[in-house]
Chains A and B, each alone.
Chain A
C-alpha cells in the first residue's frame, strides 16, 4: 500500500473509532476540516508511527505544523526517504 493510501486507511479507521465523519480528503483541504479534531490527529500520528515506522512531526527539531491534507501526506513521503 502506498504511504498515501495507508494514511487514508488509518484516517478512516480513527474517524470510525471516534465517531467522526470524514469529509472530502483532497490535498488542499484544511486538515482541521478533514473531520478529525486535534485528538483524532494525535491518535492518527501515533498509529501511523506503528504502521510506517515514522513520526515526521516529533522526530524533527524543526516542526512544520501541517495545514492541509496534502502537507500532512507530504511530511510522511519526505520523511520516509
Chain B
C-alpha cells in the first residue's frame, strides 16, 4: 500500500513537502519548519541522541515541537513531559521508560540531572553538515491525566498518531492555533496536523494571558483553532475574542455541551464548529461536525475511517489504527490497554436520547474540571477526616466556566444543635480541604444532608452524570 510507504517516513522527511514559508511561532520566536530539512535546533546533540530513549523536558512548547520533529525516526523512544507533571513522579517515569537522555531548553530538574546525555534545544535552526541515519520507528510515550499518583505512560507509533489526519485539501493557506499544550495528546494532534499539512502553527507561551494569546493569534491570521470546551469558554469571556476570525473551530478533550457550541456559532457565524472525541489511549475516534452536542447513533453501525466503536456496560470501547500500542512501565503491570478483541475501554459513559448518544461522565465517577481530573474518593477521604463528618459524597456540578466543578454532600456525626454555627463548620471543612488538596479539588460548595444513598454493592450511590 502506498500509504504504508509514506507512514514509514520519519516526521522530518514529511516536513520537506511542507509549504516553504510555514512557521512555528510562540511569543518570543518564530521558526521556519522547512529549515529542519537541512538544519537542526539541537545544538550539535542530534547524533548522540540516535537510538536513545529521550525525555523531552523543555519549558517552551516551541522547542518541544522542534525536538519532536527532529527526533522521530532517530531516537528509540520519546517521552513527552507535559508542563504540569509532578516533579515527584519524574523518577518513576524515567525508570519505567528506561530513559537515558534528556532534551531541555533551560535548567534540568534535579530528578533528571543524573541522566548520562543532556542536549539543549533552541528555538532557532542552524545548518547541519551530516544527519544521522534514520534508525527506524520511534516509540512516542504520552502521559495520561486520568490517574492519581504516577501518570500512566501510553505508547504510540507515529503512524497511529497521524492515522486520523486526512491529507490536506485546502487551497487557501492554513494557520493553526491551539489552546491545548502540544505535549498532551489533544495538542500533539494539532502539531502533527500543522506539520503534515504544511501549515503554520501559533503556540502559546508559558504564563501568557488569554487576551495576549488571542491578540497574537489574530496578528498571525489564525484560520484553524483548537481547544477544550473550558479553553473556549475562557476565550469567549475575553474582550479580545472579537479580533480573531477562524474558519474552523475545534473542541476536544472534554464534553462539548450545546451552550458552548451555540456560543461559538454565534461568535463565529462563518466558521465550521466541530468537536472531536479522542483520548490518549484510544486516539482520535471521531469528529462531529453538525454543531450538535453528542454524536449520531449511526456512528456505531459500521466502522468509520477504520475506527470501530461499541458500547459495553454504558461505556464506549474503541478499536482503531489510531489507538495506543500499550502501556509502558508500572502502568503495564497494572492494566492491559486492550480487551481480548483489541478494543480500548475509554471509560467514557454515554446515554442514548432519540437518534443521538450523549456523553454523561466518566466511569468510576472521575470528574473533569477544565481538563484536570478529580477522583471523588480522594476528596471524600479528606473531608471524612474531619471529626464532625460521618460520610460524604463528592460529585460534579455543571459549570459554564470549567465544564464541571466539585461539590460535596456531607452527613454529620450528629445533627446541628442549638448554638452550632453552620457557616463556621463549613469554613472549617473547607480549610481542611485547602490544606490537603490542590485548588481544583477543593469543593466549591458544601451541603449538609441528613443521609446519603448507598447502592446494593454497599458503595455510595454515585450518579453517572
* Residues in B208-243 with C-beta less than 8 Å from chain A: 209-211, 230, 233-234, 236-239
Please determine whether A42 and B211 come into contact, CB atoms closer than 8 angstroms: no
Please determine whether B445 and A42 come into contact, CB atoms closer than 8 angstroms: no
Distance in angstroms between the alpha carbons of A12 and B209 in the assembled complex: 22
Distance in angstroms between the alpha carbons of A63 and B405 in the assembled complex: 17
Q: A37's closest neighbor in chain B, by CB? A: B234
Please determine whether A30 and B239 come into contact, CB atoms closer than 8 angstroms: yes
Q: A36's closest neighbor in chain B, by CB? A: B401
B333 to chain A, nearest CB (A): 34
Distance in angstroms between the alpha carbons of A61 and B211 in the assembled complex: 27
Contact with A along B350-367 (1 / 0, CB 8 A): 000000000000000000
The answer, yes or no, to whether B465 is at the interface (CB within 8 Å) is: no
Distance in angstroms between the alpha carbons of A48 and B353 in the assembled complex: 32
The answer, yes or no, to whether B398 is at the interface (CB within 8 Å) is: yes
Most A-side CB within 10 Å, residue of B209, B236, B401: B401
Chain B residues, CB < 8 A from A65: 233, 236-237, 263, 400
Chain B residues, CB < 8 A from A42: 369-370, 399-402, 405, 444
Chain A residues, CB < 8 A from B234: 32, 38
The answer, yes or no, to whether B434 is at the interface (CB within 8 Å) is: yes
Distance in angstroms between the alpha carbons of A18 and B157 in the assembled complex: 41
The answer, yes or no, to whether B262 is at the interface (CB within 8 Å) is: yes
Task: In the A-B complex, list the 7 residue pairs whose CB atoms are closest, starting with the nearest.
Answer: A46-B444, A63-B259, A57-B400, A65-B236, A43-B444, A42-B399, A42-B401
A-B contact pairs, 7 of them (CB 8 A): A30-B239, A32-B211, A32-B234, A32-B237, A39-B369, A62-B259, A64-B263
Q: Residues of B at under 8 Å CB distance from A?
A: 209-211, 230, 233-234, 236-239, 258-260, 262-263, 369-370, 397-402, 405, 407, 430, 434, 439-440, 444-445
Given A43-B444, A45-B401, 5 further pairs, Cβ under 8 A: A18-B439, A32-B211, A32-B237, A39-B402, A42-B405
